[in-house]
Each structure stands twice: as C-alpha cells, then as structure tokens.
C-alpha cells in the first residue's frame, strides 16, 4: 500500500519555528507583538506587518527556517513501523513553489539528517491546489496525509482517501482529522483490514 506524506506541519514543526521567527523579527520592526492571538494563521493578521514586510521576510528567510525544522513527535517511530510492515512511503511536499533555491536537494538532506526512511520524494507546487492530487493519482497513493484543507479537499474529490492533520487554520472542514502520528498509524493499519 502506498502512503503519501506531506512534510510541513505533518512531519515537521513548521508552524512552531515560523512563529518563533516572526516573534524575533517583530521586535526589530515595531515590537508590537501578537496583535490577534485568534488569527487562524501566523501570516494572516496575527502580527501588524504590512504585506510588503511579510513577503520580504518570508522570501528572505524561508530557506533558513526550513533547515531549522525538527520532526513532530512520533514521526520517525511510526514511519519506521509502517515501513517495517511493508507500506511504501511517498514524501509529497509543495516546496517546488519558487521560494527555495534547490528544494529537492535541501529536502532530501533534511530527511536524511532526520533518518526518515522513504521510497520516493516528490516535489509539487504548493500554490497549485491540484498538483498533489495529480502525483497521488500517478503514484497510486492509497492514503494521503496533509495539513492543507485545500489540498485535502481536492484529493477527496478525486477519490483519494485523505487524512487532515489538525491545525488552527484547517478547522472548517469535515475531512477525516488526525492529531498525531499515533492516530495516523492506527488509521492506516485499520484501513488495511477493511
């Protein structure tokens, strides 16, 4: 069985690192701090930054930030368990989006550094909602796991079994929701039985 796995906020702690970086840079700007703690995402009104400030910071720092990411709890343990049980792991990340110099190399290095064992690394363009669906269909993915509501909904429309990793910015959908790798592992191993 083929399992599709997104990276950021599914196996990496992207949001945690991004928030820390925003808090640090915010001090250099106007030191306003978090102006809206209820904003559903860091880049959507949580800080008082203008669009220009936001875009500039993001483009100049995203690559450095991506290298600092660490694995979410349980990621390696459960991916190893799935590999040992014979599942194929396809890492499918939207990093081919113009924000990184050499996204494939950078991502491969990061996966190696974190001892993630996988069968194939696929890069898509995160700004194209249908691009992961296309790769899922092409690679016969049985279950896709992602944190993007947009991407998950597109997969579901195309009859791909999809798990949505719970985050503050994807609450308004009824796609099957998981909160951690233990739940992902349980779903996948149960699914096999059906």
Asked whether the beta carbons of 71 and 114 are under 8 A apart, the reply is yes
- We find the least distance from the C-beta atom of residue 149 to Mg ion, in angstroms, to be 11
Cβ nearer to Mg ion, comparing 26 with 103: 103
Tokens of 157: 């429309």
- We find the least distance from the C-beta atom of residue 61 to Mg ion, in angstroms, to be 18
CA dist 151 and 173 (Å) reads: 12
Cβ nearer to Mg ion, comparing 26 with 156: 156
For the chain, list the strands marked E by DSSP. 2-5, 88-93, 120-123, 143-146, 161-165, 177-178
Asked whether the beta carbons of 163 and 185 are under 8 A apart, the reply is no
Order of strands across the sheet with 177-178? 120-123, 88-93, 2-5, 143-146, 161-165, 177-178
Cβ nearer to Mg ion, comparing 26 with 155: 155
- We find the least distance from the C-beta atom of residue 18 to Mg ion, in angstroms, to be 12
Which positions touch Mg ion (CB under 5 A)? 6, 8-9, 147
Nearest residue to Mg ion, using CB? 8
Q: 187 CB contacts (<8 Å, ≥6 apart)?
A: 143, 163, 176, 178
- We find the least distance from the C-beta atom of residue 105 to Mg ion, in angstroms, to be 19
Cβ nearer to Mg ion, comparing 8 with 154: 8
- We find the least distance from the C-beta atom of residue 107 to Mg ion, in angstroms, to be 12
- We find the least distance from the C-beta atom of residue 122 to Mg ion, in angstroms, to be 14
Cβ nearer to Mg ion, comparing 22 with 93: 93
Tokens of 163: 């798990």
Cα Rg, the chain, nearest whole Å:
17
Element (H, E) at 190: helix 181-193
Cβ nearer to Mg ion, comparing 8 with 26: 8
């Amino acid at each position: 069985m083929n399992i599709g796995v997104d990276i950021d906020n599914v196996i990496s702690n992207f949001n945690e690192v991004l928030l820390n970086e925003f808090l640090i840079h915010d001090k250099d700007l106007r030191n306003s701090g978090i102006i809206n703690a209820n904003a559903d995402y860091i880049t959507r009104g949580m800080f008082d930054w203008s669009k220009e400030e936001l875009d500039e910071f993001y483009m100049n720092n995203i690559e450095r930030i991506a290298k600092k990411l660490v694995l979410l709890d349980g990621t390696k343990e459960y991916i190893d368990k799935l590999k040992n049980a014979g599942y194929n792991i396809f890492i499918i990340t939207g990093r081919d989006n113009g924000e990184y110099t050499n996204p494939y190399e950078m991502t491969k290095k990061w996966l190696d550094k974190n001892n993630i064992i996988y069968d194939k690394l696929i890069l898509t363009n995160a700004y194209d909602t249908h691009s992961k669906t296309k790769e899922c269909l092409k690679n016969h993915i049985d279950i896709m796991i992602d944190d993007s509501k947009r991407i998950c909904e597109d997969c579901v429309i195309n009859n791909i079994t999809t798990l949505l990793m719970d985050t503050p910015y994807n609450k308004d959908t009824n796609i099957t929701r998981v909160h951690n790798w233990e739940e992902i592992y349980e779903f996948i191993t149960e699914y096999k039985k059906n």
